[in-house]
Structure 1
């Protein structure tokens, strides 16, 4: 199948899509909340009914063609995309036409949809081309399918640090979405993928949305194309899915549903993720950060924090791992078998064979669950790593999180440079998003529980002692940490040294997590 290719028509296409209001907001406004919500669940009937009533709207023509995979006419596409038309869209590789007449049929050869997101650098609004999905084709995905911007892609874009840098690596670029985000704050972006088909889509999407970006596309597996390079930031949504790849289980999955380049890295268990975590430091410049969304196994008798923590230790890097989601083996198998387009009602034998193979593969390694989350790594500018943090946060996030991640890394460095005595000489202020919750037994005058809660970032809630709650309440930048501890000691009738021993570790945690900040940084 012809792949989209940038040409002289791409600038006109960008203008025409914008003029047609073929944007996320524009399509949702056209469809209305009911049909939009159904389409997000991959149910097309409500959308089809709306689009049939609004057939003269350019957005309806484009949505039918590129989102639903339905035919339109050459005349309708000419009207929807003036100065491009069906002829220009065909030159770009977006459609195939049955003839030159206005009533002749036109069919999309790819998915072209609006994309909107807000990362740590602000909002973006683009259009992304990728392969047509199961919803449009009614078939299982092909092995070389190039995925558009899914939930993981958007999440990674939102959690990525967006400090202006010189060089960024987008490892496993797919359709190029992370490279587009990175191009807004980097001088040069290198994007790699094992799939040359994916690189073609990334090239087209860059031409459509960021024509001036310095984008270097390279074919190859994992870090192979960049072994001699160094980067200030590495972002990766790698093929992290844990798929049976060896023995009878691997053979059964291959026979039942095959493999998919965008998600299956060809390695057993979570070995690909382990090797990426332990190896990515080789291409990081001093102070460089790597961020990736990955899976890891929870094995019986071995806490995941020890297992993944060993990867951090082997990396030689600062490491921060946040587990966002946890699935049992059955849930995990169902998710990824269905992801490729195989369903129990349409292909019951393939479904059952793949399902059983996944369960056998996990059982062979005593896997009890699979974690999904964010790994942030950083090469120290000098000396040994000082950050090793592994935590679970299965609640909602306050996106975009990239600014919070950057601030937390900076706060860690600030704390590492200060002894407790030096911290005691600092002045702190409470962040503007912090609130306090008090829980009292009916009739009581004093609270049983005080929770200091963060409104931004990870939305953490910290149960605070009487002394810590009082400390936070006094942090307005006027008094030093030591002065506040001394005053609270006198008020609570406890030794200031004892109170400092209790409070300073907690204060360090609150600074690290963004509840408190140095007064001179506010």
Structure 2
């Protein structure tokens, strides 16, 4: 499905964009209007501080848009005309943006500003989606199209923003990942099983003047059968939901399969869809089942595929906590009979299938071109750094590829530079001259921390791109009174790990983060 838009719809979207620009309906301006405390409360789902504050301000197009779409308050027809002087009420209703009930104008869709820094650079858009739980005042319909949430922002931050020929956005939803991909791709194909999602994605693309994205209707890889891409990105419907009558199955989050089988299908399907050297990045849930570790479970899906992978688990929830999270997400509150009924169904399903926990995280898969394979599964629970993760991952992959094929003896001849966001933290017992612990800290990326000994800390400190690892090891051996060859053997192992973690760069490598900000 190409999602062609009628001229009248295009005209309406152009008028809508004009009104949003004229009102300066942007995240920064909304935050200024509401104030820090009211903005924070609104993010927690509490509208009262923002509502009280905005009542004392002179009405303006911006304040009216905030009342209508962010505070879910109806407007009079006169106020609506002030908010949409170019679009007008009739065209807004035809577009599906507004409804009239009892003489008052209500939002029929969610429309909010969105600001970002995705590695390509900073920018802002406006995004249409279905009304959320706060606006609806109850549970969501099963064909609900989600707007931008924490998961989608995580994925857009993870996306490697390097030039790509063709990108596939699998399960596009409101279109947000396809929009980000369009900033670095020659062409984007975005698919979804939901006709409503395809329609809203088309509206978002056209509202923001984004070209080069083709929308197709269909399930998983079916709409692109026989095609290949050099990049795949997906926020798939990974939520594990009991497949029994009476438990809602939301199109935006439930793939209709049992347990984590949907994620398994996506993982296994990447081998056929990627070009050599191509990269797939997606979010996922995986089960801890029948005594098998969740990371081992997802690694088993990739066994024999010939693919490289880097899996990062950011969180793990026990069965009860996982059920509570997604029942709440659907708009059902704890303490109600419906919540208890759904929680019981979730826990019965988990118990029946031997599931005691669920992991959440990121999956990066790459189709190799000859280099030694990267196969890594890890848990990273430290707070993320400030760098867009896509840039960090690109740097780490490039650095890995530079040294992965080198035997230890050749790696000793390599000089390294320490990343500028790395610091060392020393801890002392009172009165002691020597530190009891030294920790290498990373300010960007995954915000990693590495407990380091004297030799490793000195090696990192001396890595300025001039001296090779072997030369530094020999000097440390003399200084510490130990065998320099033994020091080098330890540092070779540590260096490989620090390179992949983004602490060190082989001399001559250029960090994308630094290149962008210089």
Provide the rounded CA distance (Å) in 1 between the counterparts of 2:139 and 2:334. Answer: 13
C-alpha displacement of 1:409: 1.1
What TM-score does the superposition give when structure 1 sets the normalisation length?
A: 0.93
Provide the rounded CA distance (Å) in 1 between the counterparts of 2:379 and 2:209. Answer: 36
1:433 paired residue number: 421
Provide the rounded CA distance (Å) in 2 between the counterparts of 1:285 and 1:218. Answer: 20
Contact 2:160 2:394 in 1 (8 A): yes
DSSP-derived class of the 2:90 partner: helix
Contact 2:168 2:188 in 1 (8 A): yes
1:388 paired residue number: 375
- CA distances 1:213-238 after superposition (whole Å, capped 9, x unpaired): 21110001111111211111111110
Give the superposed CA RMSD: 1.8
- CA distances 1:321-367 after superposition (whole Å, capped 9, x unpaired): 1101111111111111111111134xx22211110011111112222
1:275 and 2:265 correspond: yes
1:61 paired residue number: 64
1:229 and 2:237 correspond: no
Tell me which of 352, 361, 364 is aligned to 1:376. Answer: 364
2:299 paired residue number: 309
DSSP-derived class of the 2:35 partner: helix
C-alpha displacement of 1:314: 4.2
C-alpha displacement of 1:65: 1.8
1:338 and 2:328 correspond: yes
1:141 paired residue number: 140
- CA distances 1:415-467 after superposition (whole Å, capped 9, x unpaired): 12322222122221111111111122222221222211111111111111211
Moved over 6 A (4+): none
1:121 paired residue number: 120
1:296 and 2:266 correspond: no
Provide the rounded CA distance (Å) in 2 between the counterparts of 1:496 and 1:471. Answer: 12
1:81-480 to 2 correspondences below 5 Å:
81-97=84-100, 105-211=104-210, 213-245=211-243, 250-251=244-245, 255=246, 257-345=247-335, 348-382=336-370, 386-399=373-386, 400-480=388-468
2:515 paired residue number: none
Provide the rounded CA distance (Å) in 1 between the counterparts of 2:22 and 2:413. Answer: 58
Provide the rounded CA distance (Å) in 1 between the counterparts of 2:187 and 2:149. Answer: 25
- CA distances 1:270-327 after superposition (whole Å, capped 9, x unpaired): 1111121122221111111111111111125222232122122244311111101111
Provide the rounded CA distance (Å) in 2 between the counterparts of 1:474 and 1:34. Answer: 46
- CA distances 1:381-404 after superposition (whole Å, capped 9, x unpaired): 247x61111111122112421111
Provide the rounded CA distance (Å) in 1 between the counterparts of 2:437 and 2:100. Answer: 68
Count of residue pairs brought into register by the alignment:
503
Tell me which of 36, 48, 59 is aligned to 1:45. Answer: 48
Distance 1:80 1:479, change over 3 A: same
C-alpha displacement of 1:167: 0.6
DSSP-derived class of the 2:11 partner: coil
Provide the rounded CA distance (Å) in 2 between the counterparts of 1:54 and 1:341. Answer: 32
- Name structure 1 gaps, 5 residues minimum: none
2:513 paired residue number: none
Tell me which of 26, 36, 46 is aligned to 2:39. Answer: 36
- CA distances 1:229-268 after superposition (whole Å, capped 9, x unpaired): 11111111100000011xxxx23xxx2x421101111111
Contact 1:279 1:315 in 2 (8 A): no
Tell me which of 10, 21, 45 is aligned to 1:7. Answer: 10
Deviates more, 1:385-394 or 1:41-50: 41-50
2:514 paired residue number: none
Provide the rounded CA distance (Å) in 1 between the counterparts of 2:447 and 2:108. Answer: 43
- Name structure 2 gaps, 5 residues minimum: 511-518
C-alpha displacement of 1:98: 6.6
Provide the rounded CA distance (Å) in 2 between the counterparts of 1:454 and 1:362. Answer: 38
- CA distances 1:193-216 after superposition (whole Å, capped 9, x unpaired): 0001000000000001133x2111
What TM-score does the superposition give when structure 2 sets the normalisation length?
A: 0.93
Provide the rounded CA distance (Å) in 2 between the counterparts of 1:462 and 1:349. Answer: 48
- CA distances 1:34-56 after superposition (whole Å, capped 9, x unpaired): 22222212122222222333361
Tell me which of 76, 81, 95 is aligned to 1:78. Answer: 81
Provide the rounded CA distance (Å) in 2 between the counterparts of 1:464 and 1:368. Answer: 35
DSSP-derived class of the 2:339 partner: helix
Provide the rounded CA distance (Å) in 2 between the counterparts of 1:298 and 1:357. Answer: 18
